[in-house]
Structures are given as structure tokens and as C-alpha cells.
Structure 1
Amino acid sequence: MVDSIIIERKKLFEHVAAHLEAQILAGKLRPGDQLPPERDLQTSFGVGRPAIREALISLQKAGLVELSNGARARVLMPTASHIFTGMAPAVRQMLSKAEGQRHFQGARLFFEVGLAREAAKAATEDDLAALKRALNANRKAIGDREQFTATDIAFHFELAKIARNPIFIALHDQISDWLTEQRVVTLTASGQERTAYNAHKAIYEAIAARDADGAEAAIRNHLEQLASTFWQQRGEGG
């Protein structure tokens, strides 16, 4: 006797979205192309307007189409930024728990260690000049919490740019956004701005010296200090 199997039927909008996505992936619909009017889509798929709207919203969340009031949906070229933005709800859920916060701290450490090592090997003179300008701006911002935060992010952004990979840049931007609370809490510690600047200076000097091991050690010390301070400020230990 065959065991009974329950097969969940897809909702109507999921069928529509899957079909349109397949056309985009096959190149039948290219970036910049407009999709047919919603009425034509309703006729083609034999569904009502709600199913078409839900399908288009689903494709928008996936970064495959752009929706705007009064205009037909337009096919987009997916970007890393679209991909990571779509992860935001799940990430916020993870960050609502201490374990999730620690996991993201570990992910940031792993990611930025790689960026620092790559920067020490591949940074051009222009890259080093940009990183130095960001470092100087960070030093001048000490004492101004809001400005220091902005220049802190800018320093790490310059580090991410050196690898010349748009996925790294998009991931850096998202991590900075996801860990906003950690940055805010950490900077409430006495002397933390000066400590962070000194860490940035050590990272820059190792990269400028083409010392990959030194750059890794410097950024590892920096991020581990930040994590420890965050948990201390939260009253949960290092």
C-alpha cells in the first residue's frame, strides 16, 4: 500500500510569479522591458487582478521587476543590494535574540578579515589615499558622536571598496545597517571613540605596509573589542 502524500497546492499568484520569473531567466523578458498591462496578464493567466498584483509584488521583492504608480511593471537587472535587502525581515528576527547578534558579529569578523587581507595585497596608491582621508576624517570627528559614527562607517566602506566587488560593497552596507544597534550601544562606552580610531589607524598602517597578517590581526582585535564592549554595555559580559 502506498502511503498518502499531501501535496500543497500553490497559490494562484505563485504560479503567475513562477512563470514570469522563468521568462525573465530565459531572456524572453530582458532588463528594461515592460511587462504587459495587468489586464492582459489577467487574460493570459486566467486569474483576477489580486493574483496578478501579488505576483508582481513578489517579483519586486525578489529584485526582478520595478513597480511604480501609473506605469507598467518593468524588468530590472538584479543587484546584490536587492538580494540583501530582501533578507531584512529574517535578519531582524535573528537580531532580536542574543544568539543571532553573536552570529552576525562572527559573520562580520569573518568578512572583514578577508577584506583587510585583500586590501593589504591589492590596494593601489589611490585606494590608500582614500583610506587615509577616511581615517583623518574619523580622527577629526572624535567627540561628535553622530559624525564619528558616519566616519566610522565610511572608513570600513573604503576598505570594502578596495576589493572592487559590488557584492562586497552591498554586503558591507547591509551589515552596517543590520548592526546599527551594536554600533550605537558600543559608542556609549567611555573612551570608545578614541579606541576605535586607534584601531582604524592600526588597520590602515598594516594595509599601507602591505602586511596581510598584520592587517588581519588589527581588524580582528578591533572587531573583537567592539563585540566585547557591546556585551559589557548590555550587561551580558564579554
Structure 2
Amino acid sequence: MQQAPKITRRKLSDEVFDRLYEMIETGHFRPGDTLPSERELMDSYGVGRPAIREAMQALERIGLVEINHGQRPKVLQPTATGLFSQIDLTARHMLASSSQSLEQLKEARIFFELGMVEKAAGQASAADIAHLRELLEQQRGHLNKDAQAFIEIDMAFHTGIAGITRNPIFMATSQAMLGWLARFHSSLLHWEGNEDITIMEHAKIIDCIEQGEKGAAVEEMRKHLARARLLYCLSN
């Protein structure tokens, strides 16, 4: 008879976590609700304070509850931004330790940006266009003056295009991708000495979005991203 795998004994905190997670997932506790006190949970589950605290900390790490000193934990509304914040450190480690992962991120960013600008060109409002043009003017204000501010507005410009889709997952994805690229290769977002070209390219992209020309918007974005990547490659 083949030996069966041994039954492992689980930590009490894991059991508490599972029960609380299920209650949150099924809607017994909804966003904005407070969870029972430590004492109430200890009495209800028949476990000690350490098990309750470990379970709460695990729920906090995955963004399901907020813990403030002296208050009962509060259930949070999950968001796409919160989801990416949970994997941020892991993503940074992966990108820092693997050149292949970084190249894959660059490729994914291009694919994503082209999709976002095409969608934006089909549904941008006058307010959206005004916001992008305001960002463009802010970039002009930092031209050849403040490189870091120029990069930050560059990121806001691309995130702004994602925001036009009205899809919070797209916007959170844009923020995460650009944040990781800025950390490892800010030259992919900005190229010193070519700021005026970046501004010119951004202006063309805005014009295409405003006119609803999806194909032209995609092509202008493609050229914009290709130039940045080519300049980066030439520098290495």
C-alpha cells in the first residue's frame, strides 16, 4: 500500500484567518464594518490573543482590513490599486533579480499602452483632453529645468490616458508598470536632452485622441515608445 501523505497540524492563527476570510468573502462582514474585538474572537474561537493578532495581521497584509491602535479592525473595500500595492515588493524583487523579467515588463508596457491609447481615442471627453493638455503645459514648464518633475508628469500623462478608459484596473496597472519602470529604467520614460521631442510627441498623441483617430493615436504612441526604447538601447 502506498504511503499516504502525513496530515500536518495547522497553526491556530491559520484557522482563525480562514474563518474570518470566509465571513468577509461571503458578505457577513462588509466594507466599512468593524470586526469583533480580540476578546470576543478569543471567546468565540477558543484561542489565545497571539492567534487572533497573527490572523488580523495576515488580513491586513492582503488589504482586507485596516488596523488602527485602540480601534477594532475595519473591513476595507478591495481596490485594484490596493491589489498592486500588495505585490509591489515581490514585483521589485523579481525585476531586480531577473533581466528577462524586466524585458518582459517593457514588452508588456508597450502592448498595454497601445491598447489604452486606442480605447482613449474612442471615448475621451473634452474634460479629458483638457486634463492631458494641462499636463503637457506642466511638462513644458519643467523643460530643461527639473528632470525628476518632468518624469513624474510624464508618468501622469500616460496614467491619464489609461484613466480615460474609466476602468480602475487599467489605471492601477498603468501606475504600477510605470512605477516599476521608473525605478529600474527611468530613461524609458524620459531621455535627457530630448525633452522637447517628448513634448512634441505627447502633443501629437493628444491631437489624435481628441480627433477620435484610433489608428493614428496607436501609431503615434508606438513611435513615441519605440524612440524611447531605441535611445535606451543605444546608450548601453
TM-score by length of 2: 0.90
Residue 158 of structure 1 is matched in structure 2 by 160
Deviation at 1:18, TM superposition (A): 1.3
Deviation at 1:53, TM superposition (A): 1.4
**1:46 aligns to 2:46 (yes or no):** yes
Residues in 2 aligned to 1:229 and 1:167: alpha-carbon distance in whole angstroms:
30
Deviation at 1:202, TM superposition (A): 2.3
Residue 217 of structure 1 is matched in structure 2 by 219
Per-residue CA distance 1:121-144 (angstroms, 9 max, x = gap): 111122112212212222232112
Per-residue CA distance 1:75-116 (angstroms, 9 max, x = gap): 111111111111112201221121111111122112211110
Residue 59 of structure 1 is matched in structure 2 by 59
The Cα RMSD (Å) is: 2.0
Please say if residues 16 and 55 of structure 1, whose CA atoms lie closer than 8 Å, have aligned partners that are also in contact.
yes
Residue 125 of structure 1 is matched in structure 2 by 126
Deviation at 1:164, TM superposition (A): 0.9
Residue 106 of structure 1 is matched in structure 2 by 107
Deviation at 1:169, TM superposition (A): 1.8
Deviation at 1:208, TM superposition (A): 2.0
CA spacing shift, 1:212–1:9, aligned 2, 3 Å: farther
Residue 84 of structure 1 is matched in structure 2 by 84
Per-residue CA distance 1:50-86 (angstroms, 9 max, x = gap): 2211211111122211111111111111111111111
Residues in 2 aligned to 1:50 and 1:190: alpha-carbon distance in whole angstroms:
53
Residue 181 of structure 1 is matched in structure 2 by 183
Please say if residues 187 and 193 of structure 1, whose CA atoms lie closer than 8 Å, have aligned partners that are also in contact.
no
Residue 33 of structure 2 is matched in structure 1 by 33
CA spacing shift, 1:8–1:135, aligned 2, 3 Å: farther
CA spacing shift, 1:9–1:117, aligned 2, 3 Å: farther
Please say if residues 124 and 164 of structure 2, whose CA atoms lie closer than 8 Å, have aligned partners that are also in contact.
yes
Deviation at 1:183, TM superposition (A): 4.9
Specify every segment of 5 or more residues in structure 1 that has no aligned partner in the other structure, as ranges.
none
Residue 135 of structure 1 is matched in structure 2 by 136
CA spacing shift, 1:9–1:213, aligned 2, 3 Å: farther
Please say if residues 182 and 230 of structure 1, whose CA atoms lie closer than 8 Å, have aligned partners that are also in contact.
no
Please say if residues 120 and 211 of structure 1, whose CA atoms lie closer than 8 Å, have aligned partners that are also in contact.
yes
Residues in 1 aligned to 2:9 and 2:136: alpha-carbon distance in whole angstroms:
56
Please say if residues 151 and 190 of structure 2, whose CA atoms lie closer than 8 Å, have aligned partners that are also in contact.
no
Residues in 1 aligned to 2:7 and 2:79: alpha-carbon distance in whole angstroms:
34
- One-letter identity of the residue aligned with 1:210: G
* Partner SS, residue 122 of structure 2: helix
CA spacing shift, 1:78–1:189, aligned 2, 3 Å: closer
Please say if residues 138 and 155 of structure 1, whose CA atoms lie closer than 8 Å, have aligned partners that are also in contact.
no
Residues in 2 aligned to 1:187 and 1:78: alpha-carbon distance in whole angstroms:
30
Specify every segment of 5 or more residues in structure 2 that has no aligned partner in the other structure, as ranges.
none
Residues in 1 aligned to 2:120 and 2:188: alpha-carbon distance in whole angstroms:
26
Residues in 1 aligned to 2:189 and 2:33: alpha-carbon distance in whole angstroms:
47
Structure 1 stretch 36-45 or stretch 180-189: which is displaced more? 180-189
* Partner SS, residue 18 of structure 2: helix
Residues in 2 aligned to 1:114 and 1:7: alpha-carbon distance in whole angstroms:
48
Deviation at 1:189, TM superposition (A): 4.5
How many residue pairs match? The answer is 234
Deviation at 1:24, TM superposition (A): 0.8
TM-score by length of 1: 0.89
**1:193 aligns to 2:206 (yes or no):** no
